[in-house]
Structure 1
Amino acid sequence: MVNLIGTYECKADAKGRLTLSSSLKKQLSPMLQEGFVLKRSVFQPCLELYPMSEWTLLMAKVNKLNRFVKKNNDFIRRFTAGVKTVELDGSGRLLIPKDLQNFAGISKNVVLSSALNIIEIWDKDKYEKAIDDATVDFADLAEDVMGNVTDADDELS
């Protein structure tokens, strides 16, 4: 399992290319050969960059859904809307396709934020607002999410 670390700022050029920091490129280097999947986030106005190995694991779960159940079919369609395979170019840049740039409101200043096994790609202003506008006190959220987890637990509850 991939475990990415860090938050990085960069700029998108006129074509929507992002130059990744050397620290982030170093973390992603074992995955460069396989490529990545870029998709819209379900819950936030940002994009999610999945290493191909992580995307394959996620798709194995999604593929278990019964496509003859309308809810499942609707979920799959929406979840995979706008999904693109992407690679870093020879200069270490990542091209964000125009439709995904528009979805996330990415124009110039960008934040790349690790979220365990993926990288979230945000417009900087939207990222700062999402962090600042937390409607729930983070201490309460942390207790609710992590408070009942013990070392013996295999998964978070």
Structure 2
Amino acid sequence: MKLFLSTFVHKVDKKGRVSLPSTFRQVLQHGTMEEFAVVRSFQKPALEGMMMDRMEQLTRVIDGIGVYSQEQQDLAAVLLADSKLMTLDSEGRIILSEELIHHVGITEKAVFVGKGRTFEIWDPETYDGVLKQARQRLSQSNVSLSLGQLNQNVQGVQ
């Protein structure tokens, strides 16, 4: 599976149209579709984009939570009912609605942030601050990654 990687800044026009980075388009095409879902993050001022198979995985997880529990209802409302299905136009652009633009605080530009199986869309200034804080936290922590341990922990996860 190809992954959404790297960071790209693109101009947003007055109609909310913005070009999806070409490497992100390649990931979508590799997945045999140019259709994907975008949801407003409930944890940060960003949009989260993902291929439909990832959205289906989230749906299965939400379905596994107690039916009609408040947590299940909240997650279904925020992640499923509030999601937007996106398709690319002939020029590789998507249209961000006024509602999505307002959530992120985008004015003239948007930054696309690859997160592996997903990607995020941020206001560039906001994301710069978030990235600086993340780098600072990591530099002050003793976090390390062990690929051997990682492989054992994620067996069976796709």
Shift of 1:103: 0.6
CA 1:152–1:84 in structure 2 vs 1: closer, same or farther (change >3 Å)?
A: closer
- With 120-129 and 1-10 compared, the bigger mean Cα shift is at 1-10
Structure 1 portions without partners, runs of 5+: none
2:116 is equivalent to residue 121 of structure 1? no
- The letter of the residue matching 1:51 is M
Taking the aligned partners of 1:87 and 1:151, their CA distance within structure 2 comes to 34
Please name the residue that 1:64 is paired with: 64
Shift of 1:77: 2.0
Please name the residue that 2:149 is paired with: 150
- Counting aligned pairs with the same residue, the percent is 23
Taking the aligned partners of 2:142 and 2:94, their CA distance within structure 1 comes to 33
Indicate if the aligned counterparts of 1:39 and 1:82 stay in contact, CA closer than 8 A: yes
- With 21-30 and 3-12 compared, the bigger mean Cα shift is at 21-30
Taking the aligned partners of 1:34 and 1:28, their CA distance within structure 2 comes to 5
Per-residue CA shift, 1:40-82, capped at 9, x if unaligned?
1132110011111211122111112222322322332233353
Indicate if the aligned counterparts of 1:38 and 1:83 stay in contact, CA closer than 8 A: yes
Please name the residue that 2:27 is paired with: 27
- With 13-22 and 117-126 compared, the bigger mean Cα shift is at 13-22
Shift of 1:4: 1.8
Aligned length: 155
- The letter of the residue matching 1:66 is G
Structure 2 portions without partners, runs of 5+: none
Shift of 1:149: 6.6
- With 26-35 and 90-99 compared, the bigger mean Cα shift is at 26-35
User: SS state of the match for residue 89, structure 1?
Assistant: coil
RMSD: 2.6
- The letter of the residue matching 1:41 is S
Structure 2 length-normalised TM: 0.83
> 1:67-146 maps to which residues of 2 (within 5 A)?
67-80=67-80, 82-134=82-134, 137-140=137-140, 143=143, 146=145
Per-residue CA shift, 1:109-140, capped at 9, x if unaligned?
11101111111001111111111234962145
Please name the residue that 2:3 is paired with: 3
Structure 1 length-normalised TM: 0.83
Indicate if the aligned counterparts of 1:36 and 1:52 stay in contact, CA closer than 8 A: yes
- The letter of the residue matching 2:85 is T
